[in-house]
A and B are shown apart, each in its own frame.
Chain A
Amino acid sequence: MTERDLFPGYDVLSKRLSPSWNDQTRAVVNARLAVPREPRFLKPELFQILEAAAARLVPQPSGRAPVPIAAYVDEKLFENKRDGYRLVQLPDQGECYLRGLAGLDEAARHQFSKSFVQLDGSEQDQILSACQRGALRDGAWGDMPCGLFFSHRLLTDVTTVYYAHPSAWSEMGFGGPASPRGYVRMGANRRDPWEAAEAEPGREEIARVENAHVR
């Protein structure tokens, strides 16, 4: 990936023992980092489809260990952690995934005569785009609108678990957990010493030095 690293050397986790993290936050993030990588709700075939779809929806930099997006979504389904509402057109979240992931695979086999996980990235993107547009139907989809599955379930869940991960916070320069220390410098272009330093083009090393002092 050619994405520029805007916050070189910044790692939210370097503040883990600082006054920006309380015990509860450490416990929550530790548990998150220790998520079981094996699926407990989805069957392995469907889990692989979810992994493949997640890799297209939120591509990850190659330079570090990937965030196990599918494992987090599976955990949510396994623990039946709900959102607080269900659109009348959609079944319960677990059933959504059973149908939707099978539906993506059927579309792949129909269009490319291969399973979804065997497609290359651009082919997978074509299937996902069709899903987002609401263009997939029949078979596993049943009466579930694929567009709602895409926007309300798949994309929402995938981005939620990804941006709940410290690696995501680090790459976007988010300050992360902040209790009890909080922040002092509130105005534009003001940075507390425990916040990410953004690299100006060509001055990455300056930011890297500042970010090495974030703690």
Chain B
Amino acid sequence: MSADALSEPRATGGRAPDVFKPGGWIKMREYPETEAVDFVVIGTGAGGGPLIARLAEQGFSVVGFDAGPYFRPLEDFASDEVAQDKLYWTDQRIVDGANPLRMGGNNSGKAVGGSTVHFAMVSLRFRPDWFKSRTKLGYGVDWPLDWQEMWRYYEMAEQALAISGPVKYPWGPKRPRYPYRAHELNAAAEILARGAEAQGYAWSPTPLATVSAPRGDSPPCVYRGFCRFGCSTNAKQSQLVTFIPRGIKAGAEIRDLAMVGKIEMGPDGRARGVHYHRAGEWRFQRAKNVIVAGYAIETPRLLLASATDRFPEGLANSSGLVGKNLMTQSNQAVFGTVPEQVRWYKGPPSLAITEHWNYDDRKDFFGGYAWMSQGPLPIEWASIVTGSLGLWGQPLRNAMQQYNHAVGIKMVGEMLPEERNCVTLADEVDQYGLRIPRITYSWGENDKALIQHALREMQTSMELAGVRDVFRQENDTNHLAGTARMGFDPKTSVVNADCRSWDIPNLWICDGSVFPTVGGVNPSLTITALSLRTADRIKAMAGRGEL
């Protein structure tokens, strides 16, 4: 065993942790701070990880920063809902608005690998029309990307993460067979299938980023069910065990426990490096290019906090849109009990899905949603029961005693972008002395209509599946997007289709914050695909001398 990952940086002295061996190390190249590296990447999750690997593989010098620790899952991860909150971003944030967001495990990570270390592994493609939702579907804004090009990057992402999925996926244009076979269904997934079939809707085993057969040093998933608290066997294909080791092997450096607080601008209007806090002191890394990949809260926070006299409203913000159009996804659910013993704690939590309402447009609101089977562990189940039903005392105990008979389905729903939903800086500062984010969120009328439609549909599905004592969880949200949208025009977007800032040519943003719309599926595979595309675009531009 080696020193605690949380107390001091591990990736130092020419080596980084070997995530596949307790106490193990791999060789890691290091770059001097005084020489400008080709790329600094801030954040090592689904946005930063693929870029770090691909840029290093293309021969660029790359340093990836993460504010969180560098874990070795085999020695650092317990099977425990509480102890594993060390994977979440739990620094203070203020939330307000009519529907304040709950921050934490649902939507943030603070570790090398970002929130892919604890995500539920659901790996879905956007419906093609969503890349042109304004033109084709009449809402939101168009992406400056072509779906067919993204289809190719989705395939690359699915191969890189060895996604386990069905031979034939029921929705959308043709796609290749998933690289690994689908996982077997648990009882909770079978009940989703029962309900969907009774409604006449297609369903599918969910494409998941956890391997169903051995892959390199990753053993097949053992169905322990603690996926959202970190995978302690390395079956999960997180950034931590895929792109990050690839990047280091190709010559990238990772700096863990390294919080970037400010991007420094040069007199020429270009970024010249980043100030970061590591091992108790502020340091400075010079860079030719800076890529921000901190996700929808930390990305705008850093851009706003890096304001200068020349950029008084923050970097990349001539449009005034940095921090605006924050989106979350509606995450309402319907639960109940069945006579059978379900034991939904076994296996990945979302083994079955229906995307029916992402592809059926016969509805009187914009956007779509999917729903998936569920497997909350005891603490989350208690929070659902208390939060939705207000139970305490003996009624709470009675409900909790039904745990092994409980079952449910939960939506991932599209919320529309609105400028009033935003990230700003509060006056309060955090442990680094940096101003903390204030996150403001209110659902719009369309969001509410979509949620009500989904709750009715999910309730019908559960009742048709024979579920009793059905109740609704009305208040939950999860993934984030927006706050630095990509677009066609510097006046109405923050970055262009290449994730390059309109205002500062060597400043890039590549994570969920560039999403113009959030779609009705979990965003991580789209972020990964976008990151792979951006790496290719950078290579092409570098070849033409356009960096």
Contacts and interface: CB of A to CB of B under 8 A. Distances in A.
A201 to B, nearest CB: 13
Nearest to A155: B386
Contact of A182 (B96, B222, B381, B397): B222
Contacts of B96: 87-88
B232 A22 contact: yes
Given A82-B90, A179-B233, A180-B232, A155 B75 contact: no
Contacts of B191: 188
Nearest to B440: A88
B225 A178 contact: yes
Contact of A86 (B88, B93, B404): B93
B312 to A, nearest CB: 26
B343 A191 contact: yes
A172 interface: yes
A62 interface: no
B365 interface: no
Contacts of B190: 187-188
Q: Binding site of A, secondary structure by majority: helix, strand, loop or mixed?
A: loop
B382 A183 contact: no
Interface of A: 1, 3, 6, 20-25, 27-29, 32, 56-59, 81-88, 125, 128, 132, 151, 155-156, 159-164, 168-169, 171-191, 195-196, 198
Nearest to A162: B382
Nearest to B187: A188
Nearest to A3: B397
Interface in B79-114: 79-83, 85, 88-96, 100-105, 108
Nearest to B108: A84
25 contacts: A28-B82, A29-B80, A32-B82, A58-B396, A58-B397, A59-B393, A59-B397, A81-B90, A86-B95, A87-B100, A88-B96, A88-B100, A151-B387, A156-B387, A159-B383, A172-B401, A176-B79, A178-B79, A178-B224, A181-B224, A186-B346, A188-B190, A195-B343, A196-B404, A198-B404
A185 B223 CA distance: 10
A182 B222 CA distance: 5
Given A163-B381, A175-B346, A187-B190, 10 more contacts: A22-B232, A56-B393, A83-B104, A85-B104, A88-B95, A163-B378, A172-B378, A179-B226, A186-B186, A186-B187
Interface string B211-227: 00000000001111110
B341 A28 contact: no
Given A86-B94, A174-B345, A177-B80, A24 B232 contact: yes
A179 B83 CA distance: 15
A156 B383 contact: yes
The residue among A57, A87, A172, A181 with the most chain B CB atoms within 10 A of its own CB is A172
A5 to B, nearest CB: 10
B69 to A, nearest CB: 14
Contacts of B100: 85, 87-88
B2 to A, nearest CB: 13
A164 B341 CA distance: 22
A206 to B, nearest CB: 15
A164 B379 contact: yes
B185 interface: yes
B341 A191 contact: yes
B367 interface: no
Given A85-B103, A183-B346, A191-B343, A27 B81 contact: no
Interface in B190-242: 190-191, 221-226, 232-233
Given A175-B346, A188-B342, A24 B224 contact: no
B401 A182 contact: no
Nearest to A125: B393
A181 B190 CA distance: 23
Nearest to B405: A198
A21 B390 CA distance: 33
A169 B378 CA distance: 7
A162 B82 CA distance: 11
A168 B81 CA distance: 13
Contact of B403 (A155, A173, A178, A190): A173
Given A86-B92, A168-B378, A195-B343, A28 B80 contact: yes
A184 B383 CA distance: 28
Contacts of B397: 3, 58-59
Chain A to chain B: the 7 pairs with minimum beta-carbon distance, closest first: A182-B222, A177-B79, A84-B104, A85-B103, A178-B224, A188-B187, A88-B96
